[in-house]
C-alpha cells in the first residue's frame, strides 16, 4: 500500500472496466489530438504523446502563437484542467458523459480561454472509428477504475524510466500513446528500418512508416484488448528478427504471442510477485537482449551497466 492507503499495483481486470476504458480512450484521443495539432513535429510522432504526472496524464506545454498551455487529466480529483501561460485556468469534471458531449464541452472550454485549435475529429487505431461529435455509444466513467489504471501506469512509468537509463543510444521518452492507449519506451539501433507495411486500423500506412522508420526494440504496458483480454506488459522489435519468438526470456510467466508478434507478460503475474520491479526489469532486459542479439546491434556501444 502507498502512504495514502491506495494499492500500489491495483487489480484491473479488463471486463470490470471495459466501458470506462473505451470512453476514456476516446477522451485521451481528443486531448492527444490537440497536442498533435500544435506541438512541433518530432521523429516517430514523439510530439503527440502524453506523459504521466503525480495526478494523471498531461499534454505538457503546447505552443499556440506566443501563448503556451497544457491540458491535464487529474485522476485524483477527477477533473480535466487547462492552464495557460498568462494565468487563465479552466476545468471540466470527469463524469459519465458521452464522447460527443465531452468533445463539445472540451472545445467550448478551449474557446472560453481563447484557445483556437482545430483537431481531426475522428479516432485512430480502433476498429470502429466513430467521429467524436457523433459518438454517444461510449459514455461511462468509473472514477475508481480510471484511478486504478492511472496508478498502474504510474508504477510502469517509474520502472520503464529506470530501464531507459541503462541505454546510451537513441531512445524515446517514456510516454503514453493515446492511439493504442499504451505506455511505451523504445530503443533504437541507429540503423534505418525496412518500410513498415502499415496495418493499424483506421490509420494510414504513412503514419506507421514514420513511427517505425528506424530499427527499434520497444516495451511497455497495455490494459488489454481483443487478442489479450487482460492487462499486460509487452515487448517487440521492428523489424522482427528471425527466431525472435523462439527466444527464452524472463520471467517464466512471459510468453510469445504469434498473433501480436510480441512477448507478453500478464499484469497479474507482476502484481502477484513480491518483487514487481525486478520481475519487470527482467522482462524488459531479456526481451531487449533477445532482439538486439538476433539483429546484431552494437550493444557495447549502446548500453551501460544497470545500477543496483
| pLDDT tens, residue by residue, 50-102 | 999 999 999 999 999 999 999 999 999 999 999 999 999 999 999 999 999 99
- Beta strand residue intervals within 75-145, DSSP E: 79-84, 89-93
Closest to 64 in 3D by CA, of 83, 51, 78: 83
Judge contact between 207 and 45, C-beta under 8 A. Answer: yes
Does residue 257 belong to any structural domain of this protein? yes
- State the Cα–Cα distance between residues 238 and 240, nearest whole angstrom: 5
Residue 226 confidence (pLDDT): 82
DSSP string, 229-293: -S-EEEEEEESPPTTGGG---SSTT-EEETTTTEEEEEHHHHHTSS-HHHHHHHHHHHHHHHHHH
Does residue 2 belong to any structural domain of this protein? no
**pLDDT-based confidence at 4, cuts 50/70/90?**
low
In the predicted structure, residue 194 carries a pLDDT above the cut 80: yes
**pLDDT-based confidence at 3, cuts 50/70/90?**
very low
Last residue of a domain, one of 105, 134, 163: 134
If asked whether residues 233 and 282 sit together in one domain, one would say yes
Judge contact between 284 and 219, C-beta under 8 A. Answer: yes
Residue 239 confidence (pLDDT): 98
Q: What is the mean pLDDT of the chain?
A: 96
If asked whether residues 48 and 88 sit together in one domain, one would say yes
In the predicted structure, residue 171 carries a pLDDT above the cut 50: yes
Q: For the chain, how far is it from start to end, CA to CA, in angstroms? A: 23
If asked whether residues 160 and 251 sit together in one domain, one would say yes
Last residue of a domain, one of 83, 114, 134: 134
If asked whether residues 185 and 103 sit together in one domain, one would say no
**pLDDT-based confidence at 307, cuts 50/70/90?**
low
In the predicted structure, residue 296 carries a pLDDT above the cut 60: yes
Does residue 197 belong to any structural domain of this protein? yes
If asked whether residues 205 and 84 sit together in one domain, one would say no
Q: What is the residue range of 287's domain?
A: 143-302
Residue 5 confidence (pLDDT): 57
For 130-144, what is the mean pLDDT? 98
- State the Cα–Cα distance between residues 181 and 144, nearest whole angstrom: 18
Quote the number of domains for the chain.
2
Judge contact between 182 and 50, C-beta under 8 A. Answer: no
In the predicted structure, residue 6 carries a pLDDT above the cut 90: no
Q: pLDDT digits over 270-282, tens only?
A: 999 999 999 999 9
In the predicted structure, residue 198 carries a pLDDT above the cut 70: yes
If asked whether residues 147 and 105 sit together in one domain, one would say no
- State the Cα–Cα distance between residues 67 and 61, nearest whole angstrom: 10
Does residue 286 belong to any structural domain of this protein? yes
Residue 138 confidence (pLDDT): 98
Residue with cell 472496466: 17
If asked whether residues 38 and 154 sit together in one domain, one would say no
If asked whether residues 129 and 211 sit together in one domain, one would say no
In the predicted structure, residue 1 carries a pLDDT above the cut 80: no
Does residue 7 belong to any structural domain of this protein? no
In the predicted structure, residue 306 carries a pLDDT above the cut 80: no
Q: What is the pTM of this model?
A: 0.96
If asked whether residues 168 and 254 sit together in one domain, one would say yes
Amino acid at each position: 500500500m502507498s502512504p495514502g492507503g491506495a494499492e500500489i499495483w491495483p487489480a484491473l481486470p479488463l471486463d470490470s472496466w471495459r466501458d470506462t476504458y473505451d470512453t476514456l480512450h476516446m477522451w485521451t484521443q481528443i486531448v492527444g489530438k490537440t497536442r498533435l495539432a500544435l506541438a512541433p513535429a518530432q521523429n516517430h510522432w514523439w510530439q503527440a504523446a502524453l506523459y504521466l504526472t503525480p495526478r494523471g496524464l498531461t499534454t505538457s506545454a503546447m505552443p499556440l502563437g506566443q501563448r503556451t498551455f497544457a491540458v491535464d487529466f487529474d485522476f485524483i480529483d477527477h477533473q480535466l484542467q487547462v492552464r495557460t501561460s498568462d494565468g487563465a485556468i479552466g476545468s471540466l469534471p470527469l463524469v459519465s458523459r458521452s464522447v460527443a458531449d465531452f468533445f463539445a464541452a472540451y472545445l467550448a472550454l478551449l474557446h472560453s480561454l481563447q484557445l483556437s485549435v482545430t483537431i481531426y475529429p475522428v479516432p485512430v487505431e480502433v476498429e470502429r472509428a466513430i467521429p467524436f461529435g457523433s459518438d454517444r455509444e461510449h459514455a461511462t466513467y468509473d472514477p475508481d477504475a480510471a484511478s486504478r489504471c492511472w496508478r498502474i501506469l504510474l508504477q510502469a512509468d517509474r520502472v520503464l524510466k529506470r530501464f531507459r537509463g541503462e541505454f546510451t543510444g537513441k531512445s524515446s521518452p517514456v510516454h503514453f500513446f493515446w492511439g493504442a492507449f499504451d505506455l511505451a519506451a523504445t530503443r533504437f539501433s541507429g540503423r534505418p528500418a525496412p518500410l513498415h507495411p502499415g496495418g493499424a486500423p483506421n490509420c494510414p500506412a504513412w503514419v506507421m512508416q514514420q513511427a517505425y522508420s528506424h530499427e527499434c526494440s520497444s516495451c511497455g504496458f497495455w490494459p488489454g484488448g481483443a487478442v489479450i483480454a487482460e492487462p499486460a506488459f509487452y515487448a517487440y522489435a521492428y523489424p522482427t528478427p528471425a527466431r525472435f519468438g523462439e527466444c527464452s526470456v524472463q520471467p517464466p510467466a512471459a510468453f510469445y504471442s504469434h498473433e501480436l508478434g510480441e512477448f507478453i507478460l500478464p499484469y497479474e503475474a507482476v502484481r502477484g510477485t513480491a518483487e514487481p520491479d525486478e520481475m519487470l526489469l527482467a522482462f524488459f532486459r531479456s526481451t531487449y537482449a533477445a532482439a538486439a542479439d538476433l539483429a546484431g546491434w552494437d550493444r557495447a556501444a549502446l548500453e551501460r551497466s544497470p545500477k543496483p
